[in-house]
Chains A and B, each alone.
Chain A
């Protein structure tokens, strides 16, 4: 259990302009919540773009989501949820002064963040390989062997295996659960893909917009994960300095709040980007 060092005289961890440690903690915490509100609105802009394009052009999203690997997305969701748990536990450990446990929990959370980024790297490099990039660089080229038309009539998603419709079960372009928007002319890759109607949905016009939104959303989220890793390293340094002695846990609490928001945002990204159709 915690060894509560009761401070003699003025607590050096309380800044001069605060009356008490509690006032300081509550101020920091309110500041953090306000910051998290700004984070929601910061990501919010991308959710607006997402909603506007998805409602107006559902077919683009049905097509684009086909190229995302649901298994990898689900794996990352599980990893992030687990890391949310470990950092929540870390707050408890800090509150109770279990500093050794705290160290391991921070390291575990950080490890999860690295796993997340590793999986993201695998996903991004597959997209890169196939030219499934944001609009300006969108140039889908399905490599030999991956390309459905060159296979044995077996549908296989070029960048994934598990997430796409099961092999042999053709993905019907009309299976969209949402009424298609107005027809536009077909894009670049349409003729090649259309060669095998059983392969994947026919590419709708402006399918590239999906990848713009995908990269912006997951990219910005990824930057937040990296920032989270930096924050964990900072926590480890604070731990080494003895900042958390005596059950002082505000810093851990703040990083944990941030990390949970990163988790919450991913919960929505997983649903909205990977689980279409």
Chain B
């Protein structure tokens, strides 16, 4: 499954790339079809889980992270970690002051 050029660079096999693409297509089909069922609050989490699996597949195989220096993956993942921090705190705060905000919301 794994080839290398003369320079010792990893080359992904075509079979693997096709396999990942098919997995991504199935994932897309799954994301769409799962919205036809009502799992309550779980819907969004199921959707996010599928999307994240797809993103991980792209990262590991299409973007070669599986064979790359771990630090590159670390850089990329830390961006998501800081984003999660940003989303988390902004959410905690806005949720708390929302009730103060809404009655005063002018419409038009």
Interface residues of A (CB under 8 A from B): 2, 4, 21-22, 26, 29-30, 33-34, 36-38, 40-41, 44-45, 47-48, 51-52, 55-56, 70, 74, 77-78, 81-82, 84-85, 87-89, 91-92, 95-96, 175, 177-178, 181-182, 184-188, 205-206, 247, 249, 253, 256-257, 260, 263-264, 267-268, 270-271, 275-277
Chain B residue numbers with a CB within 8 Å of A36 are 76, 79
Contact B72 A29 (CB under 8 A): yes
**Min CB distance, A180 to chain B, in Å?**
12
* Most B Cβ at <10 Å: residue of A38, A44, A70, A187: A44
For chain B, residues 50 to 80, give those with C-beta under 8 angstroms from any C-beta of chain A: 50-51, 54-55, 58-59, 61-64, 68-69, 71-72, 75-76, 78-80
Is B5 within 8 A of A247, CB to CB? yes
Interface centre among A30, A37, A87 (most CB of B within 10 A): A37
Interface of A is mostly: helix
Within the assembled complex, what's the spacing in Å between the Cα atoms of A4 and B59? 29
Q: Which residues of A contact B71 (CB under 8 A)?
A: 30
Contact bitstring B1-33, A, C-beta under 8 A = 1, else 0: 000011101011010011011001100100110
Q: Is the interface of B mostly helix, strand, loop or mixed?
A: helix
Given A40-B76, A88-B17, A264-B58 contact (CB < 8 Å): yes
Complex: A268 Cα to B11 Cα, angstroms: 28
Contact check, A77 vs B107: say whether CB atoms are below 8 A apart: no
Q: How far is the CB of A232 from chain B (nearest CB, A)?
A: 16
Tell me the smallest distance from the CB of B21 to a CB of chain A, in Å.
4
Q: Which of B35, B50, B58 contacts A84 (CB 8 A)?
A: B58
Report whether A260 and B63 are in contact in the complex, using a CB–CB cutoff of 8 Å: yes
- Cα distance A36–B79 when bound, in Å? 9
Closest Cβ of chain B to A136, distance in Å, is: 13
Closest CB in chain A relative to B27 CB, distance in Å: 8
CB distance from A246 to the nearest CB of B (A): 10
Cβ-neighbour of B11 out of A30, A92, A177 (below 8 A): A92
CB distance from A69 to the nearest CB of B (A): 12
Query: Are B32 and A263 in touch, CB under 8 angstroms?
Result: no
**Interchain CB contact under 8 A, A41 and B25:** no
Identify 10 residue pairs between A and B in the complex whose beta-carbon atoms are under 8 Å apart, listed by A's number.
Answer: A48-B87, A52-B90, A52-B94, A56-B94, A56-B98, A88-B20, A188-B108, A264-B54, A264-B55, A271-B31
CB distance from B9 to the nearest CB of A (A): 6
* Interface pairs A-B: 9 shortest CB-CB: A37-B79, A85-B21, A40-B79, A44-B83, A88-B62, A33-B72, A81-B24, A264-B55, A182-B102
Q: A182 to B99, Cβ gap below 8 A?
A: yes
A2-B5 in contact (CB<8A) = yes
Is the pair A206, B43 in contact by a Cβ cutoff of 8 Å? no
Q: Is the CB of A81 within 8 A of B9?
A: no
Question: Chain B nearest CB: distance from A66 CB in Å?
Answer: 12
Decide: B95 and A41 in contact? CB cutoff 8 A. no
What is the CB-to-nearest-CB distance from B58 to chain A, in angstroms, rounded to a whole number? 5
